[in-house]
Structure 1
Amino acid sequence: MALELRPNCERCDVDLPPHAEAYICTFECTWCRDCVGTFAGRACPNCGGNLERRPVRPASKLAANPPSTVRVHGG
């Protein structure tokens, strides 16, 4: 199963297209670089897990495995 590639940062709601620098935890909570820089210990504020840079899906695989269109925003 492929990563969801959520379309936005859960904190500031900035768009995060598949090629954007985004960070995820093991639950795929998704954050932009600017917001991650404000998190204590660079840990996910939802679960406390570590954040890693989201891998970039090759363009040739996007059609068969499109990114999610569901926006998650906690404010």
Structure 2
Amino acid sequence: MHPPLTLHRHPMCVEIIEQFQKCHTDHPIAKFFGECTDLKIKLDRCFREEKALKRKANFEESKKLKERLQAHRKELAEKNPQ
């Protein structure tokens, strides 16, 4: 199973998505017998790479946010000692 094949959500995989959809259109019966399997494998790999890049970017963003939050908490603790 793959995610919905919307082009705007998968900018890295646009070319492969279009090829895959064209294969399904051109081979309505043969697609059930493996005609488009190679493209499906390429598509899955592309989605995995795209997800890994997004995960890495989100992790980096999370680290920056965490550092800013810790700095802010430290600043507040220095202003309001208890």
- TM-score, length of structure 2 as denominator length: 0.26
**Higher relative contact order, structure no. (Cα contacts within 8 Å, ≥ 6 residues apart):** 1
The structure with the greater share of residues assigned to helix is 2
Larger of the two Rg values belongs to structure? 2
